[in-house]
Structure 1
Amino acid sequence: MGVPKRKRSKARNRRRRAEVMRIEAPNLVRCPQCQELVRPHHMCSECGYYKDRVVRANEA
Protein backbone atom coordinates (compact mmCIF):
# COMPACT_ATOMS: atom_id res chain seq x y z
CA MET A 1 0.00 0.00 0.00
CA GLY A 2 1.32 3.43 -0.90
CA VAL A 3 2.30 5.72 1.97
CA PRO A 4 3.03 9.44 1.43
CA LYS A 5 6.62 10.42 2.18
CA ARG A 6 5.80 14.03 3.06
CA LYS A 7 2.82 15.93 4.39
CA ARG A 8 0.88 17.75 1.69
CA SER A 9 0.49 21.43 2.61
CA LYS A 10 -2.93 23.09 2.95
CA ALA A 11 -2.13 25.51 0.15
CA ARG A 12 -1.19 22.69 -2.21
CA ASN A 13 -4.36 20.76 -1.35
CA ARG A 14 -6.60 23.80 -1.76
CA ARG A 15 -5.00 24.75 -5.06
CA ARG A 16 -5.60 21.24 -6.40
CA ARG A 17 -9.22 21.23 -5.19
CA ALA A 18 -9.88 24.68 -6.63
CA GLU A 19 -8.76 23.42 -10.04
CA VAL A 20 -10.93 20.30 -9.89
CA MET A 21 -14.06 21.88 -8.41
CA ARG A 22 -14.12 24.96 -10.61
CA ILE A 23 -17.67 26.15 -11.30
CA GLU A 24 -18.42 27.06 -14.90
CA ALA A 25 -20.65 29.93 -15.92
CA PRO A 26 -24.06 28.82 -17.22
CA ASN A 27 -24.72 28.90 -20.95
CA LEU A 28 -27.06 31.72 -21.94
CA VAL A 29 -29.16 32.16 -25.08
CA ARG A 30 -31.26 35.06 -26.38
CA CYS A 31 -35.04 34.99 -25.86
CA PRO A 32 -36.69 35.03 -29.30
CA GLN A 33 -39.33 37.52 -28.08
CA CYS A 34 -37.50 40.18 -26.04
CA GLN A 35 -33.81 39.32 -26.78
CA GLU A 36 -33.06 39.02 -23.05
CA LEU A 37 -30.38 36.51 -21.99
CA VAL A 38 -31.96 33.39 -20.47
CA ARG A 39 -30.85 29.86 -19.63
CA PRO A 40 -31.59 27.29 -22.34
CA HIS A 41 -34.82 25.27 -21.88
CA HIS A 42 -36.15 27.76 -19.30
CA MET A 43 -38.94 30.31 -19.39
CA CYS A 44 -37.90 33.93 -19.94
CA SER A 45 -38.28 35.80 -16.66
CA GLU A 46 -38.76 39.13 -18.48
CA CYS A 47 -41.57 38.38 -20.94
CA GLY A 48 -42.83 34.99 -19.70
CA TYR A 49 -42.38 33.18 -23.02
CA TYR A 50 -41.11 29.65 -23.56
CA LYS A 51 -40.81 28.09 -27.03
CA ASP A 52 -42.89 30.80 -28.76
CA ARG A 53 -45.86 30.65 -26.38
CA VAL A 54 -46.87 32.55 -23.26
CA VAL A 55 -46.33 30.54 -20.09
CA ARG A 56 -46.83 33.38 -17.63
CA ALA A 57 -48.89 36.48 -18.28
CA ASN A 58 -46.88 39.68 -17.95
CA GLU A 59 -47.99 41.64 -14.87
CA ALA A 60 -47.64 45.25 -16.03
Structure 2
Amino acid sequence: MGGVPTKHHSRGKTRRRRSHLALVSPKLIACPNCKMPALPHRACANCGKYVKKARTKKEVSV
Protein backbone atom coordinates (compact mmCIF):
# COMPACT_ATOMS: atom_id res chain seq x y z
CA MET A 1 0.00 0.00 0.00
CA GLY A 2 1.13 3.49 -0.75
CA GLY A 3 1.56 6.26 1.76
CA VAL A 4 -1.51 8.38 2.40
CA PRO A 5 -1.42 11.80 4.11
CA THR A 6 -3.18 11.55 7.47
CA LYS A 7 -3.78 15.32 7.85
CA HIS A 8 -4.87 17.98 5.39
CA HIS A 9 -2.34 20.80 4.86
CA SER A 10 -3.90 24.16 4.10
CA ARG A 11 -2.67 26.35 1.22
CA GLY A 12 -1.14 28.78 3.68
CA LYS A 13 0.81 26.10 5.50
CA THR A 14 2.10 24.67 2.22
CA ARG A 15 3.02 28.07 0.78
CA ARG A 16 4.66 29.20 4.02
CA ARG A 17 6.83 26.08 3.94
CA ARG A 18 7.74 26.68 0.28
CA SER A 19 8.52 30.39 0.78
CA HIS A 20 12.22 29.63 1.27
CA LEU A 21 12.54 27.74 -2.02
CA ALA A 22 12.70 30.89 -4.18
CA LEU A 23 15.70 31.28 -6.48
CA VAL A 24 17.99 34.27 -5.97
CA SER A 25 19.65 36.03 -8.88
CA PRO A 26 23.46 36.28 -8.81
CA LYS A 27 24.84 39.65 -7.75
CA LEU A 28 26.96 40.93 -10.63
CA ILE A 29 29.42 43.81 -10.73
CA ALA A 30 31.15 45.49 -13.67
CA CYS A 31 34.72 44.30 -14.21
CA PRO A 32 37.04 47.29 -13.65
CA ASN A 33 39.18 46.21 -16.62
CA CYS A 34 36.73 45.27 -19.40
CA LYS A 35 33.38 46.50 -17.92
CA MET A 36 31.68 43.12 -18.49
CA PRO A 37 29.42 41.68 -15.77
CA ALA A 38 31.35 39.45 -13.36
CA LEU A 39 30.81 37.78 -10.00
CA PRO A 40 32.36 39.66 -7.07
CA HIS A 41 35.56 38.27 -5.46
CA ARG A 42 36.27 36.12 -8.53
CA ALA A 43 38.37 36.51 -11.66
CA CYS A 44 36.52 37.92 -14.67
CA ALA A 45 35.41 35.22 -17.11
CA ASN A 46 35.98 37.55 -20.07
CA CYS A 47 39.46 39.02 -19.46
CA GLY A 48 40.71 36.80 -16.59
CA LYS A 49 41.75 39.68 -14.33
CA TYR A 50 41.12 40.02 -10.61
CA VAL A 51 42.05 43.26 -8.82
CA LYS A 52 43.93 44.41 -11.94
CA LYS A 53 46.20 41.35 -11.95
CA ALA A 54 46.13 38.66 -14.63
CA ARG A 55 45.08 35.40 -12.96
CA THR A 56 44.58 33.31 -16.08
CA LYS A 57 46.20 33.36 -19.48
CA LYS A 58 43.79 34.18 -22.27
CA GLU A 59 44.02 31.66 -25.10
CA VAL A 60 44.39 33.25 -28.52
CA SER A 61 42.99 31.27 -31.44
CA VAL A 62 44.36 31.95 -34.91
* Shared fold, TM over 0.5: yes
Letter in 1 for 2:42: H
C-alpha separation in 1, matches of 2:50 and 2:16:
40
After superposition, the C-alpha distances for 1:3-50 in whole angstroms (9 at most, x for unaligned) are: xxx6115xx32x334422212101000001111100000100110100
1:25 alignment partner AA: S
Residue aligning to 2:4 = none
Q: How far, CA to CA, are the matches of 2:17 and 2:35 in structure 1?
A: 37
Runs of 4 or more, structure 1, over 3 Å off, are 15-18
TM (norm. structure 1) is 0.73
- CA RMSD, Structure 1 to Structure 2 (Å): 1.6
Give unpaired runs (5+ residues) of structure 1. Answer: 1-5
What residue number does 2:3 align with? none
Q: How far apart are the structure 2 equivalents of 1:41 and 1:20?
A: 26
Unaligned stretches of 5+ in structure 2? 1-6
CA distance in 2, matches of 1:36, 1:52: 14
Letter paired with 1:7: H
CA distance in 2, matches of 1:16, 1:54: 46
